[in-house]
Structure formats: structure tokens, C-alpha cells
Structure 1
Amino acid sequence: MPLGASITYGQGSSDGNGYRQLLRDLLTEDGYNIDYVGTRSNGTMDDNDVEGWPGFRIAEVAAKANESVPAYLPNLVLINAGTNDCIQGKDPDRAGEQMLELFDQIRAASSRVSVVLSTLLVNKNDETDACVRRVNDQFRSLVLDQQARSRKIVLADMYAPGGPTVDDLVDATHPGDAGFEKMAAVWFDSIRDAASRGWLEAPQVLPPPPVGNSTGRN
């Protein structure tokens, strides 16, 4: 399940796929069977399900995840959220605390889940970027603390060499196609990190969907 706000949704990419098709290709080539899940659809790719909500802060993303995670029971959740907390100035110094609440919520809802938490991307606005760096420090600390407790979470550090740069942004915040390609590579490396720890489990079997509806698996 790709979970987050507008970057997760694919805003800024030419085809609406964002990083998802690129990441799917990398994972498929590496032998994984992929089925994205989410309550929304965006992009030209066939498997275009996503749980991305443009403009949403961490707490708002969590409210959506509270509905979608129990419905789909994903075995892997990729989170990129928190940029809007900085842009909107809504208590970003509690971003780490709110992200931990989201992580615990996901773990409680889907027992086989592993989480890959992304740091926030570089931003062209200096004030926003300073906030992004503070939030990223919180996220890095969260991952280290939770790993020390043997919980299944790894970091995808997008604010590091290999991640999108300001030259990859199409506006102050969103990457273009080249930036999303870099995001896909960082996600891929982090998913392989989780796999190397033995954390990727088969998805739970879902109950039959109501007539007229369908649900995803991973």
C-alpha cells in the first residue's frame, strides 16, 4: 500500500504514476509478485491503486489509513507523509509522535505488515526545507527506536545522496519523472533491506468482497 499525500498520489509526474510503476518494475524484475492496494486510483499504469491524498497532513493520512488498512490487510506499507505539516505549519515538531501513532495503528490493523517510512523530500522553499530537516530527524530516530524494539520498520532516506534533489522538482515540493525514478530506487533498496531481515510475510487472506466490489492483496 502506497500511503501518503500528493507525492504518493503521483502529483508532478507526467503520467500520474509517480514512483509506483518504476518501483513495481524493479520489484517484479527481482522476483516479487506485486499488487498495489488503496481506495484511490491514479495514473496510466494498470495496477494504479494508491492511498494518496493531496494536501493531507500526517493525522489526516492516518484517518484514511484507519479505514483502508483493515480493509486490505497489506503486508507492506510505504509511507511518505509530513510535508504538508511543514507547509501548513501545523505542529511539525510533533510529526515523529504522530507518525509513531500511525505506525502503531497500522501494526494493530494488519498483523503481517512491514512498514517502509520515507524521510521527506528536499523543498525549494528555505523555511519549509528547514522544517523538513527537523521532521526527518524525528523520523530517523523513530525508525532506530522501533527497530531496537524488534518492530518491522525500515527507513527510505529520500533526503540523502541518491534521493531527489531540488533540480528534480517541478515546483517547490513535487518531483518530476526523474525525481520519482530516484524515489523508486530508494524505496527498492529499503524493501530489500526489510526482506533481508526476514520481515516480508505473505499477505493475509481476505474475506470474499461484497458483490460488485473487489479488494487487493499486497
Structure 2
Amino acid sequence: MKLIEDSFLPWLRFANAGMLERGNVWCIDHAVKHMPESLPMIEIGSFCGLSTNAIRHFCRINGRDNALFCADKWIFEGAEDGGPVGSSTISHEQYRDFVMESFRRNVAFFSGDLPPHPVLAFSDEFFELWRSGIEVVDVLGATVRLGGPIGFAYVDGSHQPDQCRRDFANVHEFLAPGGFALFDDSSRQAPFGLYPFMLEIAARDDYELVAENPNFLFRKTR
């Protein structure tokens, strides 16, 4: 596995809740360093902002100020019934509000110099907005215009195979040649069943496999 030793990341992990595969760190740094200049980045799934802040950290050390758009509605699997969280007295609505506020506070503290643009939308909804090229008010209160080619997509939303296929199709539509797509939880050991689809992408003649680390990082070639 390709790894990066970075003295900041352990401190970020101590304070910022979330899941970030160690191999993804190398992939994020590689994509940020080598993606087409000036193009925006998209993160699908943000939770409490750990990967958002990691992306911004590598933008900072690689001298990149590319816009970063995050797509998340902060509605979690298993929360559809609206009841309490497990056997607690906390409702799923309260849990969602807490996670969203954690995201806001984490990105304000760790990425205040390079604030992202989180859009309150599931990934399919986000790409419809992106396709339309409209202006939206993001979760942090900034008015931003969506649309155009992208340089890097970090796909970490729903890990259902059908949704992953739709996410790839949407990313592919806007990913510029030379741009990168990283799929979280896509390794052959992951329990979500994304690995066969990763092999399909690797077999395409318009993508090259950059790393299986253990998740899959691809570069669009044309």
C-alpha cells in the first residue's frame, strides 16, 4: 500500500470524526497534485468533514486553490423511520442536526482559508443541479454557481452498486481528460460489492488505473 506520512493528519483525525482509509490519503494527494489546473473538485458524501478537510490540506500543501463542492443531504441509511437512534432518546433529526453542525464547525476551523461549498443534495440531485448550471446557496451561506468540467471526484456516498454506477456515470460526464476519480470502500475486501464494477472501469480504454490502494483511483485519459 502507498502511504503518506503527514504530521498534520493525526491531529485532524483526533478532533474530526469520520472514516478515512489510510490509502485514500495517498490517492487524494496524488489527484490534487496532478489534476488539471483550476478545475473544481467534487466530493460525494461529507459526514463530519474529515475527508473534506484532508482534501483541503493537500490543496494547501500543493499550492492549489481549486473550488471544492460537497454533495450531502446528511440523511443516513437506517434513519428512514424517523424514530430514535437505537435505544437512545436522541432522534434521527437531532443526530442529523448534530452531524451537520459538526461539519460546519470542522471545516470552518480546519479549512477556513479554503472553504468548501457544501450543497444540500443527494448525489443524483447534485448532478442535476450541476447540469443546469444554476446558482445555489451552500450550507455555509455562500452563493455559488454550479456546472462545468471537474478535475477530481471523491466518491464516498451510498456504496450500493447501482448508486455507484450512477455516480460514475455522472462523474464521467463532467470529468475532464486528465482528471481523477477515487472510489471509497471499493477494495476487493470491502463488503459493499463495488469491486467487480471497479474492474469494469479499469477495462475501459478511456480510463487508466492509477492505484488500487486498496481503494481504486482512476485517471480519465480522454
TM-score after normalising by structure 2? 0.43
Higher strand share: 2
Q: TM-score, normalised on structure 1? A: 0.43
Structure holding more helix per residue:
1
